Structure 1
Amino acid sequence: MTAWRILIAVLAWTGVTIQYGLMIHNESWASGPWKTVEFFSYFTILSNLLAGVVLTAPLVAPASRLAAWAEASSTRIAAATYLAITALVYHGLLADIWDPKGLGLVADTLLHTVTPIAVLADWLLRGGKGPARWSGAFKALAFPALFGVWTLLHGALTDFYPYPFLDVTKRGYPGVMVMMLAMSAGFLVVAVAFTVLHRARARLAIDRRAPLSA
């Protein structure tokens, strides 16, 4: 299982690294920092980075607070939720308007397909430590909400919007706000569904360990 998690972590970090290299390789020292800010303004990048941290921390510093946080059920459910949404949104809304080639295709496949599937599979196999509280599903909305706020503020200052469905210059604030509300509902539905699965699995494990009555 450790080898499996190392592999997933490597996939996550590789996808992010390749994509970053492709984004800045032709940039000057002056424009590089701005491109770096844009790079970290994509939810895809942030969700894959989170996956990398969640998978790596327990391997390199198992006794640390970061590792304990990474192994917690609420953290694992949140990471699985973000990557599931990343894959669903990409393949449902963006794949038809994006045609990467070469290393771009490699990074694209890792970020939007391979890593999300691998992280979901790892979560289904291992879950997380501790109980999965219902409140955790609502707390998982905090990160997407902060991303939405950042997107609007950054976009207002620079006219850069990472995704066409969040582009205020094309959809207007009302259209973007409706999309954000719809996506928030999607995040909540997935987080609740994953919480249900985790709690059901935990209950099944308890039932299996319970001694049989005579």
Structure 2
Amino acid sequence: MSVRTRPALWWRVGIALSAFLGLTLGNASLVYFTVQSNVIVLGYFIGAAYWMLERGTVDAPAPRLRGAATLYIVITGLVSHVLLQHGANPLPGLVDGPDRLAHWSSFFLHYVTPVMVVTDWLLLKPRNASAWRDIPLWLAFPLGYAAVVLTRNALFADFPLKYPYFFFDPTTKGYGYVWGQIAMLTVEFVVLAAAVVGLDRLGTKVAGKLRPAATEA
């Protein structure tokens, strides 16, 4: 069976399309982690679709990079929904109000793309491709992002969008609050990274149970 007829290929094309729509329907700046993580996902899954066709396999390439992209987009979805939106329902803004395109952009960036990427990680190959030792490497990007934001703000007082997220803003509660938020988020990101590795193992079991009943996607 040709790779072109496999659901895995078209699911990954769908992920790239979702990230693309999220990035192009809105006008968010690259200064946001949301935008950066979706750019990473877009680039990875375009490359994945290309190499799947080139190699004639449903296995996604560069599994460590795939794990990193999965972690970053999970962070994006959870931080937005829990910390920024406080669990608010994202659906009403899609059909009502003057900023529907912005709501659709946010919906793709924070909900559709993360859910599709996690589904890909859970159900599609390769399996058992991540390792616990990958976690420090994966965390280098979000921690580096925080370091860049804080360093940039200290060096360039007139930089636009100095505080892309409230937990970077020391103007009301001071830097003690900022460092406390970063420490708390770091612990949470370690837990999420461990969950990504754990989902890889869980996905192996799920795929094993599904294989007798269906051909491999």
Same structural fold, with TM-score higher than 0.5 when normalized by the shorter chain:
yes
What is residue 33 of structure 1 aligned with on the other side? none
Letter in 2 for 1:126: L
Superposition pairs of residues 147-158 of structure 1, within 5 angstroms: 147-156=145-154, 157=156, 158=159
Superposition pairs of residues 103-122 of structure 1, within 5 angstroms: 103-122=101-120
Q: CA deviation at 1:208?
A: 11
SS of residue matched to 1:133: coil
Change (3 A) 1:127 1:155: farther
Letter in 1 for 2:193: A
In 2, the alpha carbon distance for the partners of 1:123 and 1:109 equals 20
- In the alignment, does 2:70 pair up with 1:74? no
Letter in 1 for 2:144: L
Paired residues, what number? 187
Q: CA deviation at 1:85?
A: 1.5
What is residue 3 of structure 2 aligned with on the other side? none
In 2, the alpha carbon distance for the partners of 1:151 and 1:136 equals 24
2:85 equivalent among 78, 82, 95: 95
Letter in 2 for 1:42: Y
What is residue 57 of structure 2 aligned with on the other side? none
SS of residue matched to 1:134: coil
**What is the CA RMSD across the aligned residues, in angstroms?**
2.9
Q: CA deviation at 1:4?
A: 1.7
Gaps of 5+ in 1: 24-38, 65-69, 210-214
What is residue 13 of structure 1 aligned with on the other side? 20
Letter in 1 for 2:120: D
SS of residue matched to 1:116: helix
Q: TM-score, normalised by structure 1?
A: 0.76
8 Å Cα contact 1:73/1:128 also seen in 2: yes
Gaps of 5+ in 2: 1-6, 55-59, 212-217
Change (3 A) 1:205 1:116: closer
Q: CA deviation at 1:169?
A: 2.1
Superposition pairs of residues 60-209 of structure 1, within 5 angstroms: 60-62=50-52, 71-95=61-85, 101-128=99-126, 131-156=129-154, 157=156, 158=159, 160-202=162-204
Superposition pairs of residues 28-67 of structure 1, within 5 angstroms: 39-62=29-52
Q: CA deviation at 1:3?
A: 1.6
8 Å Cα contact 1:76/1:127 also seen in 2: no
Q: TM-score, normalised by structure 2?
A: 0.75
SS of residue matched to 1:59: helix
What is residue 3 of structure 1 aligned with on the other side? 10
8 Å Cα contact 1:72/1:129 also seen in 2: no
Change (3 A) 1:208 1:163: closer
In 2, the alpha carbon distance for the partners of 1:206 and 1:15 equals 33
Q: CA deviation at 1:91?
A: 1.1
